[in-house]
Amino acid sequence: MAQKVQLSTKNSTPIPGSDILIESLLRHDVDTVFAYPGGCAIPMHQSLTRYRGQVRVILPRHEQGGGFAAQGYARATGKVGVCMTTSGPGATNAVTAIADAKLDSIPTLFITGQVGTGVIGTDAFQETPIVEVCRSITKQHYLVTDVNDIAQVMNEAFYVASSGRPGPVLVDLPKNVQNDLAVPNFDSPVELPGYSFDGLSASDEEITALADMIDAAERPIFYVGGGIVSSEASESLRELVKKANVPVTTTLMALGVIAANDPLWLGMPGMHGSVYANEAVHNCDLIITLGARFDDRVTGALSTFAPHAKIAHIEIDRSEVNKVRKADLAIVADVGDVISRLCKKVKKAKIDDWHKQIADWKKSDPLTYDKNYPDILAQHAVETLSKLTQKFDPILTTGVGQHQMWAAQFFEHQAPRRHLTSGGLGTMGFGLPAAMGAKAACPEKLVLCIEGDGSILMNMQEMATCFCEEIPIKVLLLNNQHLGMVMQWEDRFYQMNRAHTYLGPVHHPEWAGDGDGKSPATRYPDFVGIARGFGWGGKSIFSKNELEGAIQEMIESKGSYLLDVQVPYQEHVLPMIPAGTSIAEMIKE
């Protein structure tokens, strides 16, 4: 067994590049790495064994699962999540997780082994130019060809990944560089010309102008995005919202920054947002945009988005300002700093008529579902899970699809970093490994995952990781035998023509989308059987009277557990504003 070694000092004797790499991780407070070995990553993994006890290595069963687990870790904590792979297919398997982290601004570090420098460019075994592959989906990227550069590169990588608008950084490390010896300088300064946040603090004049805009508005709203989470500004935001008495709508990435029971919260805007959030956006005269980017799923047809509103946009990433919607007041600065200073200036808005109008919208068009439906609807399952777990302050992850939207609508999110989902890229298979990463980061927390039967199959192999690494998570599987969101579009826009969205067995055509969906013989695959095969607990339920008891059993189980909830495929996520249209085309039923 490899013996644990102590961290080197500045004047140490030469050590391998792989040891420099691992010591750099430790010096940046990394305690967990999601790492899958391979030929060009062997030296890194050998080094990890020498530092056993100082860093936990979790072996995912697929590199994409490792990448999403690193994201789950990062999203739950705000720390940089770390994923390591080998070269070639190991690296390319992580590409989707890298792209996902880029679009959602998640601080992550992806370290890939690479073939030796002497054969780079010769199509060597398991060679891919991963830096070139990922150039447009990383915040920064490095191919390290000199062992003396490793410590400097790692310092830069952590700084870039976690500063400003966070994002993924890729470090590609050839095998011979991992083996080369050097005396590291772990204290080398970060010098990145052109990458600086000096001077990005808002001026007093900008803060005053923003406060004046709010004071002059008759129908203002706050439009809040994931930048609030990145800047750890949720508490300041809550203080600002309360003091200003201004309604607030939060994007999918910001759920929880305002408690779901706050009377000023409007829910999500956009395609599957609440009617009243969309009505407020459409009819407001001022949008104060805090750490959000006017995503197309929020704006719909840009020509009809908030047609009566002035726009104040507070954003740390200069490239986002005026990119989609021109701002009347643009402040390029840390949103947390702006909110704290605005709190001291803003007055309580006298907008009683606006509040009354919003209350009327909430009353006339609440988020709801058919509560008299005889069996289990997905919305009811999510709502029940929320009710039974609120006392635990749980972390919730989701896959992508209808279940993701129902989780956003009907699970009551009360705090930031409790709702972890793939927003910008919308990656199926995100939920299970992200839950695994979140639980590894927060072992004291109840970690829940709401999944769909299509999405969970994308990374189901991580059930083995959860069992072997003793990472207990709880999965509520909403099983409708279909790729639900695509099927919903088929129903609404393609004359209900099924184009490969039915997931059941093709040798039972009588059940392919027009049966009652209740016969166990038609439910394929056997998710509970698969879960038990991976060492999990599991149960499948059909009827309403089983739901609460089954959820309670799942919560109380000691290990990982999958609750397979059979739900009808005919149900749609509503309301819905079709892509590229306006609130005038909103579908409510």
Active centre residues (catalytic)? 63, 125-126, 175, 485
120 vs 113: CA distance, rounded Å: 12
- Taking the CA atoms of residue 542, residue 545, residue 550 and residue 552 in that order, the dihedral angle to the nearest 10 degrees is 160
104 vs 227: CA distance, rounded Å: 10
Pick from 1, 3, 4, 73: nearest CA to 33: 73
Q: What is the Rg, in whole angstroms, of the alpha carbon atoms belonging to the chain? A: 25
Pick from 150, 198, 196: nearest CA to 173: 150
578 vs 489: CA distance, rounded Å: 9
Residue pair 446/389 in contact by the 8 Å Cβ criterion: yes
Beta bridge pairs of residue 449:
397, 475
Helix (H, G, I), strand (E, B) or coil at 332: strand
Helix (H, G, I), strand (E, B) or coil at 149: helix
Long-range contacts of 256-262 (CB under 8 A, 24+ apart): 256/413, 256/414, 256/415, 256/416, 256/417, 256/418, 256/419, 257/224, 257/228, 257/229, 257/233, 257/416, 258/224, 258/234, 259/413, 259/414, 259/415, 260/412, 260/413, 260/414, 261/412, 261/414, 262/238
Pick from 267, 270, 249: nearest CA to 577: 270
Name, in order, each residue with C-beta under 8 angstroms of 556's C-beta and a sequence gap of 6 or more: none
Sheet holding 286-290, edge to edge: 248-250, 220-224, 286-290, 310-315, 329-332
Buried-state track 220-258, b at ≥16 Cβ within 10 A, e below 16: bbbbbbbbbbbbebbebbbebbebbbbbbbbbbbbbbbb
15 vs 180: CA distance, rounded Å: 8
Q: Quick count: other Cβ atoms within 10 Å of Cβ 259? A: 14
526 vs 513: CA distance, rounded Å: 18
Amino acid at 198: D
Residue carrying the six token digits 């199509």: 123
460 vs 471: CA distance, rounded Å: 15
Pick from 156, 155, 150, 152: nearest CA to 179: 150
